[in-house]
A and B are shown apart, each in its own frame.
Chain A
Amino acid sequence: MGVSAPPKEADRLKTTVDENARISDEFDSEGEASEGSELSEVATEEGGGSSGDEDASTSDGSGLDDDDEGEKGGSGEEAEARGSSSDDEDASATDNDGLDSVEGSGDSDSERSRVFEESDSSEDELLEIQLEMFPWSGTRMSHILDMTLKGRITKKERQDKLDSFLANVDDSKNWRKIYDDYNDEDVELTKEEAKMISRLLNGKAPHAEFDPYAPYVDWFKWDDAIHPLSNAPEPKRRFIPSKWEAKKVFVVKYVRAIRKGLIKFDKPKEEPRFYMLWGDDSGAADKTNHLSYIPAQSQSYQGPVVSISTEVSGEWIASGSTDGTVRIWEVESGRCRKVWQFDEAVHYVAWNPMPELPILAVSVGQDAYLLNTGVGNEETQRKLGELLYVEAAKVSDDSNNPICSWIQDDEHGGIKLRHAKTVSSVEWHRKGDYFSTIMPADILFLLLFSLAIFRLYASAFYVALTCLSRESKSVMIHQLSKKLTQRLPFKLKGIAVSSVFHPTRSIFFAVTKKNVRVYDLLKQKLIKKLETGLREVSSIAIHPGGDNVILGSREGKLCWFDMDLSSKPYKILKSHSKDVTNVAFHRSYPLFASSSDDGTAYVFHGMVYSDLNQNPLIVPLEILRGHTTFNGRGVMDCKFHPRQPWLFTAGADSSIKLYCHN
């Protein structure tokens, strides 16, 4: 019976410390239980002081009782006073016990049996002593014996709550008692244990003697060793070439080749930042002129085509180029019918809107030419011959200041109108008799001129100023039948850019860089001023209805004005990335187009309703990218075929293209 008891006891001892730590949580609630065990311990030492070995097991065993407080209550102080020493003994006892058990397990079988015999006898003695001293512990023993017999421990019965309360209420050390659920006993913590717990709670090392700041001992041997730390053989991977390295070499090869310039990428084509605004662009000799979809001609332009104009029936189209040539083409076949060669770059061509007057107005340098195109039968040719004839050089005088002279030009077959300055554009009136020319007046020149006058005569300057304010110097209106020239009798504030006649009424639009002035030619007064809000207006086109105007600007914007609506733009379309060179309305289809230096032309659907309440409908339709940019210039002009929904574009790449619907 007693044979199996001691290892059990030892086991329990070993766990005690751990248990203490574990149950620290339950400290408060079960503190009372440990009171008795200390007393019993003290009692044990008092009783069996001679037998140090057995002390621990005895004390442990005694920890279970809780009925003995009453009789041992008085000796509480004593026990406390000796607490520290007893604890020490306790610890040593534990150690011994452990060693003992190790010794026991370590011996040979024979020895073990001998030890068992010895322990057997000693255990028996112990049991006897215990039984002698603590008659109550018989119950405890019988528990253990029960366990060994039945293979399980029967738990001791729980005390009545009221009884335990009454028992604990007077006990001052009740708070130190903990119920150890694992071992089914009440443990009373020693002072030392309580301190250890409080240290743990504070996050310190549990033992007071542990020095967390002990001086560092450098255990490492710093001097070189003869042998490597690891004597493993070199792995295989160190001797075979790396796949990744091989790849890297491949990449590096390319990188080096790129750095050396052996490999070249297609660089994005750089647009020249500057282009010759006034210089001669005669470098495009190799470019061939052609119309897409329709046959081209044998001769080719040398320079950009800057202006085109269609004949009113759509049979012919005229074009002018910076190389000084003006050509007439047959639209259907693309055949060049006639060529005129001028000394200077052609700026503008305009076909007379009357079908019976096949006259082409051309602006070249300081001259505006009226050319006989040679289209038509003998009758019209005869009439034209009469019309395009001036006997002597006729000078239109205006206050002793010749503004324009009409000169017969037999070389080109027509009339030459010599102006004071460069003529930039020519526009016909719808009836084909009047036409306007624009000379973009040089502001600097004007200023210098007036300053010079001012230095000479202050009064004369005043006269000059009034003269300037009364009429525009830059816009001329000519009458073909009477060979008359007059200035636009209004003052333009700003540099004239373009002009256009109203398609149905005698209204004249003069375009300056910032705004558009609308004049009634009959009443001789300003009707309206359109505020564009644009930086620089470049072109204008009027809807055949006459109430809507589009303007193109140098910043690539397109402004649609509804004249009835407001003097501010109805819609601004930002479509082009570069200057808009020209805008055009179709005569019959609801189409308008814009051409730009970015090499594209846009076609829009622009429906104007007869119902005044309905706003115009503008829908972009197509981007035409047929032309290549040359010297920073793209599409220079665009005109619609007068009857078909076809668009002609003139490009800086010396070609005219015809776009058809398909």
Chain B
Amino acid sequence: MDVDMDERQIQARFVTKLNPPFKAPPSAITIPATVTRLGLSTIVNSLLKAGDPEWETQPFDFLIDGELVRMSLDRFLLAKGISAEKTLEIEYIKAVVPRKEEEPSLHDDWVSAVDGSCSRFILTGCYDGFGRVWKGAGVCSHILEGHTDVITSVSIINPLGDVTLATASKDQTLRLWKMDSEEGVDDVPAKIRPFKILRGHSASVGSVAAQASGSMICSGSWDCRVNLWQTDVSSAEGDSVSIKKRKTKNGTEEPQLEGAPVSTLVGHTQQVSSLVWPELDTIYSASWDHTIRRWDAETGKDVSSIICGRPFNCLSVGGEGSTLVAAGGSTPILRIWDPRKPGTSAPVYQFSSHTSWISACQWHSKSWFHLLSASYDGKVMLWDLRTAWPVSVIESHEDKVLCADWWKEDCVISGGRDSKLRISSGVPVL
């Protein structure tokens, strides 16, 4: 750092909530006012290096009054109306940038759906009609065969306990797959068996979402309905279960259950494109009829709705208190609503760096500020609510990105039309 004496100087103190190896000395130092994020990051790295000779340089992001610094310091202070006279308190966090791009996991066809809610494996759905379970980058452990058409959505039910997988397909059915947890090797079970076929939709099923407890799932379809299904055998709809013999690879015949919907939520007038079931009795559904509806799962009533002028493709609920609704659709703008605000359907945040339709968005499960979005422009963007610009842009896909999710809290997984599942790891969100 060469400090030009002619320029304005600012007294600043660097603070952090990070753990000791990242703690910089709390004394105030004088820095030039023209430095940007890169300059601040260099300063902090040199401070840390002074305390610890084995320090490895890494990028940091900087917060002043809860806002990420995205321009030079003097311009930032001017824009925010912060006095440069007193000592400035700058909080630094690790920059949310993927450190490593893993090997692509090749599929036979376009990757349409991905779920990374279980830290042990990744579940993907593909246009060839197979679901796939990946242990890691490029390591496919299981292929789920059964659907006769494109898999549109996948979900991992109860990822912590007795894991069940759900796949939704354009053949108008959903399938549930059981993992045999007792035979697990390396955290991943050896066998996955088909468990249940859920019939009841009269058109292509577009989305599937599981309740947190794992006892129920909901599915949205092109027939404009949202169906709720039981996932386990011992349930009220047991009498409607018929047992079907199915040939498996090793020649033994296994019983396969068929299920019918427990209840149906009617109200949407067009395709239900995305579903979230964040709480026990609350279901959010996004549809091409330009609405996001909140349903009471118990009564099946439409509680409230958000109306936007565009069809929605994706939906995610999270953020502060797990209440913010993020949704994208056939516009390049990712919008975030706060349903707690009464009497308004205006989004609280709008992120418009994409250039084409948004195909997926997902909140980080732990962070209040971070979410990702995938778009047909071939980019996956990471967003922080504290700044209007994307924190990071992942451009590893050669074609449109159709799905994206977080995995293990520090990886971004995405699949697209280039038939590849991409894993960008080492994203230090927390």
Contacts and interface: CB of A to CB of B under 8 A. Distances in A.
Contacts of B202: 355-356, 377
Given A335-B110, A355-B203, A295 B399 contact: yes
A333 B402 contact: yes
A293 B354 CA distance: 12
Bin the interface of chain A by size: 20 to 34
Interface in B168-189: 170-173
Counting chain B CB atoms within 10 Å of each CB, which of A295, A315, A332, A335 scores highest?
Answer: A332
A164 interface: no
A54 to B, nearest CB: 109
A393 to B, nearest CB: 32
Nearest to A313: B222
Interface string A137-177: 00000000000000000000000000000000000000000
A446 interface: no
B204 interface: yes
A293 B402 contact: no
Counting chain A CB atoms within 10 Å of each CB, which of B173, B399, B417 scores highest?
Answer: B417
A332 B330 CA distance: 9
A377 B172 contact: yes
Interface string A635-647: 0000000011000
A644 B127 contact: no
Contacts of B417: 295, 333
A21 interface: no
Contacts of A376: 172, 203
Contact of B376 (A295, A330, A335, A643): A295
A293 B357 CA distance: 7
B204 A294 contact: no
A85 interface: no
A313 B203 contact: yes
A335 B253 CA distance: 36
Given A355-B203, A376-B172, A313 B271 contact: yes
A660 interface: yes
A459 interface: no
Interface string B195-214: 00001001110000000000
A335 B356 CA distance: 17
B288 interface: yes
Given A376-B172, A377-B171, A294 B222 contact: no
Interface string B383-423: 00000000000000001101000000000000001000000
A307 to B, nearest CB: 24
A662 B171 CA distance: 32
Contacts of A333: 110, 112, 400, 402, 417
A644 B270 CA distance: 9
Contact of B127 (A335, A660, A662): A335
B98 interface: no
Given A313-B271, A315-B204, A335-B110, A294 B376 contact: yes
Interface in A321-351: 330, 332-333, 335
A293 B271 contact: no
B357 A315 contact: no
A401 B105 CA distance: 63
B39 to A, nearest CB: 38
A356 B203 CA distance: 9
Contacts, number: 52
B129 interface: no
Contacts of B330: 293, 644, 660
A310 to B, nearest CB: 13
A295 B400 contact: yes
A404 to B, nearest CB: 33
B311 interface: yes
A550 to B, nearest CB: 26
Interface residues of B, number: 30
Contacts of B171: 377
Contacts of A293: 330, 356-357, 376
Contacts of A294: 357, 376
Interface in A347-393: 355-356, 375-377
Contact of A377 (B173, B331, B399): B173
B228 to A, nearest CB: 19
Interface in B282-335: 288-289, 309, 311, 313, 330-331
Interface string B265-277: 0000111000000
A376 B127 CA distance: 16
Interface in B110-124: 110, 112
A643 B270 contact: yes
A376 B110 CA distance: 21
A413 to B, nearest CB: 16
B288 A662 contact: no
B400 A643 contact: no
Nearest to A297: B417
A644 B203 contact: no
A293 B356 CA distance: 7
Counting chain A CB atoms within 10 Å of each CB, which of B309, B330, B357, B402 scores highest?
Answer: B330
Contacts of B150: 330, 335
A643 B331 contact: no
B371 to A, nearest CB: 22
B198 to A, nearest CB: 12
Contacts of A313: 203, 222, 271
Given A313-B222, A644-B311, A662 B203 contact: no
B288 to A, nearest CB: 7
A330 B270 CA distance: 16
Contacts of B288: 314, 643-644
Contacts of B402: 333
Interface in B195-240: 199, 202-204, 222
Contacts of B222: 313, 315
Interface in A281-299: 293-295
B36 to A, nearest CB: 33
B400 A315 contact: no
A314 B150 CA distance: 17
A662 B355 CA distance: 12
A203 B334 CA distance: 100
B331 A662 contact: yes
A660 B222 CA distance: 20
A298 to B, nearest CB: 9
A643 B203 CA distance: 16
A632 B124 CA distance: 46
Nearest to A644: B311
A662 B203 CA distance: 28
B125 to A, nearest CB: 13
Nearest to B376: A295
A377 B127 contact: no
Nearest to A356: B202
Interface in A606-659: 643-644
25 contacts: A293-B376, A294-B357, A295-B376, A295-B400, A313-B203, A313-B222, A314-B288, A315-B271, A330-B150, A332-B313, A333-B112, A333-B417, A335-B110, A335-B127, A355-B202, A356-B202, A375-B170, A375-B204, A376-B172, A376-B203, A377-B173, A377-B199, A377-B202, A643-B289, A644-B288
Given A315-B204, A375-B170, A662-B331, 8 more contacts: A293-B357, A295-B417, A313-B222, A314-B288, A376-B172, A376-B203, A377-B202, A643-B288
